[in-house]
Chains A and B, each alone.
Chain A
């Protein structure tokens, strides 16, 4: 496609405008979220105030960025799963990723490993990978995994994991409970630059791979037979896309626990506003997810400071009215 057609195509121009607009909104939200917090930053005397500089640069900024990256990762994973499974009701946790990660973390907590947070994140990530692998093995028949079998296997395994989590929480002594529950409700407490860098790497790699195969993934929406007839190596593309989306989701769960709504609703919102196919929705979802979670975490940190509110609840509280309004307009 030459530059002539780009300029001539109104749909395309609208999409580029949408991308730019959403980038600006996301940028503004990230900056605004960095300006607010439990601590008052004395901006005039920041250069002399060592403690406030540490608050801003080592505590608040990494947290805001981590929120944005977690949101972006969950949104693109959700979009990918909805495409692959051809089902609008699935979220990134559908294939047992959340249950596996939470189960790993809860069991690690029950065994008293809670005081090594790095270990917990690692075990959570391992649990997520194991769970997704198990779901695939269960769902496979004759070398193929039908979407409906995948979804059902994921649901059943998630139920098993919830049961194991409840058991390990009941057995863990005393008030380890609060912390473990908090983790399962999703929280960015204690986010540092290491988390940001690690998750950013995973996210950028996932985004690159999904964008690279965007055209093939887009064609899976029309059904596997159809995609195959258009020359798509369906088995390979599905494996790559599932793997990438699962790893991205597992990595977010490992650093922030389970945060709902973003992965389910951001792809829908993007589709309702701009329509368009997978390749175009991918960057939109990344930006939308980042904006939603950075804003939600900003409110979670400040509304009743110094207490923090559960991030998952704030995400839904912010997202639901917005989503309902665009749903009504689209209808």
Chain B
């Protein structure tokens, strides 16, 4: 058996104890019907609330000691964010590591099904995956004039959701187009922003308050001169929903639809 990155994974029977090292993976596992098998998580897994009481094993460099003491049959982590030496670090304790890829929207139901197969909860997982796919299908919109959307994860310096990210997929699902054409989550040029101005701007709020953002957009060049800013077409969304490719992406898609509907009505 190999994981999402082609690494071989050796399992002894169906895993009964799982440690999840990413908040979105924890959410996916719960949706896939495997909540009772989760014996520990990373520091940030807090949804659903029941996960908060489980043992926490750390962040990017989780504590191998704590993971080992939980005696899991398998550890789940996420490609990209997990430590490159994680598999090697777990090897002495004989704990297999399965690395998932959740970069695109379609990865979410896929990982849900895969987790169900691995943990012998395939039925629940299949139902949850289908429900998510149906929800997303119902949220799909076609708009006569698709707006160019800039999705900013950080404003100064400007980091954005680029092509081939699940946020890019969400924008397209909602009937918009991504104003950014480079892939991944790049640091983005302000010149490019001005040269290809977005019709609307979405900010993943984080800790910044609305008034702070208001001041930033009003005062900062080149933002204050953008038509989208002057017309008030900038919106704040919940950071968690848009940073965790998990079962709650349907809520993110609904948020996005609402924003794009509002924009459309004002045209």
Bound together: yes
List A residues at the B interface (Cβ < 8 Å).
Answer: 37-39, 50-52, 54-55, 58-60, 62, 109, 114-115, 117-118, 120, 170, 173-176, 178-180, 182-183, 187, 189-193, 301, 305-308
Residue A54 contacts which of B66, B83, B84, B93 (CB distance < 8 angstroms)? B93
Q: Bound complex: CA of A60 vs CA of B81, how far in Å? A: 24
Q: Give the contacting residue for B87; candidates A39, A117, A182, A187; CB below 8 A.
A: A117
Alpha-carbon distance A180/B60, docked complex (angstroms)? 11
**Nearest CB of chain B from residue A304's CB, rounded to whole Å:** 10
Q: Is B181 an interface residue (CB 8 A)?
A: no
Q: How far is the CA of A59 from the CA of B86 in the complex (A)?
A: 13
Chain A CB within 10 A, most for which of B92, B99, B183:
B92
17 additional A-B pairs beyond A175-B81, A307-B59, beta carbons within 8 Å, are A37-B65, A39-B65, A39-B68, A55-B68, A59-B89, A59-B92, A59-B93, A109-B84, A174-B185, A179-B82, A179-B83, A182-B61, A187-B61, A190-B88, A306-B43, A307-B61, A308-B63
Query: Given the complex, which residues of B lie within 8 Å of A191, measured CB to CB?
Result: 89
Provide the B70-104 mask, 1 if CB < 8 A to any CB of A, else 0: 11000000001111111111011110000100000
Return the contact of A58 from the options B63, B88, B93 (Cβ within 8 A): B93
* Interchain nearest-CB distance for A38 vs B (Å): 4
In the bound complex, CA of A174 to CA of B43 (Å): 20
* B contacts, CB < 8 Å to A: 5, 7, 43, 56-66, 68-71, 80-89, 91-94, 99, 183-185, 187
B99 to chain A minimum Cβ distance, whole angstroms, is 7
Contacts of B184 in A (CB 8 A): 173-174
List the B side residues contacting A62 at CB < 8 Å. 92
Q: Is the CB of A118 within 8 A of B93?
A: no
A313 to chain B, nearest CB (A): 14
| Contact across chains for A192 and B88 when beta carbons are under 8 A apart | yes
- Residues of chain A within 8 A of B185, CB atoms compared: 173-175
A221 to B84, CA, bound (A): 42
Across the interface, A173 reaches (CB within 8 A) one of B80, B83, B88, namely: B80
B interface majority secondary structure: loop
Q: Please indicate the chain A residues that have their CB under 8 angstroms from the CB of B83 in the complex.
A: 179, 182, 189-190
A178→B81 contact, CB < 8 A: yes
Question: With the chains together, A52 CA to B84 CA distance in Å?
Answer: 24
Q: A60: which B residues are within 8 A, CB to CB? A: 65
Checking A51, A180, A193 against B69 with a beta-carbon cut-off of 8 angstroms, the contacting residue is: A51
A174 to B162, CA, bound (A): 10
A51 touches B68 (CB 8 A): yes
Contact present for B87 and A306 (CB under 8 Å): no
B87:A115 contact, CB within 8 angstroms = yes
Task: Determine whether the beta carbon of A306 is less than 8 Å from that of B62.
Answer: yes
Is B88 touching A306 in the complex (CB atoms < 8 A)? no
Say whether A115 contacts B63, CB under 8 Å: no
For B94, what are the chain A residues with a Cβ–Cβ distance below 8 Å? 54
Cross-chain contact B68 with A59 (CB below 8 angstroms): yes
CA distance A189 to B64 in the complex (A): 9
Bound together, the chains give a CA A38 to CA B59 distance in angstroms of 13
Do B68 and A174 have beta carbons less than 8 Å apart? Answer: no
Q: B62 contacts which chain A residues (CB < 8 A)?
A: 306
Chain A's closest residue to B95 (CB) is A54
User: Do the beta carbons of B84 and A308 come within 8 Å of each other?
Assistant: no
Residue contact B89 to A189, C-beta cutoff 8 Å: yes
Could you show 23 A-B contacts with beta carbons less than 8 Å apart? Answer: A38-B58, A39-B63, A39-B69, A59-B64, A59-B92, A59-B93, A60-B65, A62-B92, A115-B5, A115-B87, A173-B185, A178-B81, A179-B83, A189-B89, A191-B89, A305-B63, A305-B66, A306-B43, A306-B63, A306-B66, A307-B58, A307-B61, A308-B63
Residues of A within 8 A of B5 (CB): 115
Contacts of B56 in A (CB 8 A): 306
Question: Of B60, B71, B84, B92, which one neighbours A51 at CB under 8 angstroms?
Answer: B71
In Å, the complex CA distance between A52 and B88 comes to 19
- Who on chain A is nearest to B92 by CB? A58
Which residues from chain A contact B91 at a C-beta distance below 8 Å? Answer: 192
**Chain A contacts of B66 at CB under 8 A?**
38-39, 305-306
Q: How far is the CA of A39 from the CA of B68 in the complex (A)?
A: 9
Q: Select A307's contact among B43, B85, B93, B183, beta carbons within 8 Å.
A: B43
Judge whether A179 and B65 touch: CB under 8 Å: no
The residues of A that contact B80 with a CB separation of less than 8 Å are 173-176
Taking CB atoms, residues of chain B closer than 8 Å to A189 are 61, 64, 83, 85, 89
CB B7 to nearest CB in A, in angstroms, measures: 6
Kindly list chain A residues whose C-beta atoms are within 8 Å of the C-beta of B85: 117, 189-190
Tell me the nearest residue of chain B to A105, going by C-beta: B84
Pick the contact of B84: A179, A192, A305, A306 (CB < 8 A): A179
Bound Cα distance A307, B61 (Å): 7
